[in-house]
Amino acid sequence: MTAKLPQVVVFDLDDTLAPSKTRLPDQMAGLLGRLLSRTQVCVISGGQFGQFRTQVVEPLDGIGAAHLDRLHLMPACGTQYYRFINGQWSRVYLEALSADEKTRAKGALEACARRLGLWESHTWGAPIEDRDSQITFSALGQEAPVNAKRSWDPTGEKKLALREAVAAELPDLEVRAGGSTSVDITRVGRDKSFGMEKLMESTGLSKEDLLFYGDRLDVHGNDYPVKAMGVPCLAVRDWQDTVAKLEELLGAEPVA
């Protein structure tokens, strides 16, 4: 117990806290419950708030986790922000895209995906989703099984090719490779570093007070903006690796 817990422990969601689009495993929910009893926790990911409810909030409710007022939820890569206030989840802000931005984003995604041969005939749900502040392309649909998503683009080449093609069509918007099969579009500068700036503004803390866990901290990964802005980061391979590292963190001294 030589180190101290950070003021806020921040996590990516898919493949960091749980397999893509699935609920927190019981072991992870228990660890997050323990962490919330000792410090603040933030989860930031590309999914919409409904996905956060299913993946994070419901498992924590299931174990009777206390101190939910210490939990910060940042859907759509931080372009939305929710807190547990007076017994309910309340939205703090929403960086909504305009109708024109949404239309152009959807059109560019479909046109480029078709041109590159990445528009799949069989999907599990619609391949393009409007998340208000973010338009997301998921090649196999939002409900695709984990194994199918992992095998679709194991090297990440398909996502990067689509990202580059769409970015060339939308120079006024931010286009990023997202999860295992996804590409996300927001306003320029609205990536996870934007969310971290908003988190620090809300809490009055600095970069040194945070610790970020993510599975995509490589230069092309959607967690990389957090690393690039100077927030202390821990790279993880998957949720099981996060469990191991989180167990070690929980042996640290409480925050002052």
What is the model's pLDDT at position 9? 98
What is the model's pLDDT at position 256? 54
Category of 99 on φ-ψ map: left (φ > 0), alpha (ψ -120 to 50) or beta = alpha
- Local structure of 39: helix, strand or coil: coil
**b/e string for 197-218 if b means 16 or more Cβ within 10 A?**
ebbbeeeeeeeebbbbbbbbbe
Average confidence (pLDDT) over 77-89: 95
What is the model's pLDDT at position 142? 86
Among all chains, which residue has been given the structure tokens 């940042």?
A: 74
Q: What is the DSSP string of 172-230?
A: TEEEEE-SSSEEEEEETT-SHHHHHHHHHHHHT--GGGEEEEES--STTSTTHHHHHTT
pLDDT in tens, 206-246: 999 999 999 999 988 889 999 999 999 999 999 999 999 99
| 222 or 55, greater pLDDT | 55
Res. 255 pLDDT band, cuts 50 70 90? low
And the tokens for 165? 């093609």
CA distances to 41, 53, 152, 221 from 217, in Å: 19, 25, 21, 6
| Pick from 179, 230, 175, 183: nearest CA to 207 | 230
CA distances to 51, 224, 237 from 243, in Å: 21, 21, 11
| 55 or 256, greater pLDDT | 55
Average confidence (pLDDT) over 46-66: 94
pLDDT in tens, 103-161: 999 999 999 999 999 999 999 999 999 999 999 999 999 889 989 998 999 999 999 99
* Residue 171 neighbours by CB under 8 Å, 6+ apart: none
Distance of CA 119 to the CA centre of its chain: 24
State percent of the chain over pLDDT 70.
98
What is the model's pLDDT at position 1? 37
What is the model's pLDDT at position 88? 95
State percent of the chain over pLDDT 90.
88
Q: Characterize the bridge pairing of strands 128-130 and 8-11.
A: unpaired
Among all chains, which residue has been given the structure tokens 């790279």?
A: 235
What is the model's pLDDT at position 253? 72
What is the model's pLDDT at position 220? 83
Res. 2 pLDDT band, cuts 50 70 90? very low
Average confidence (pLDDT) over 25-47: 96
| Pick from 22, 20, 75: nearest CA to 47 | 75
Measured distance CA(79)–CA(199) in Å, rounded: 11
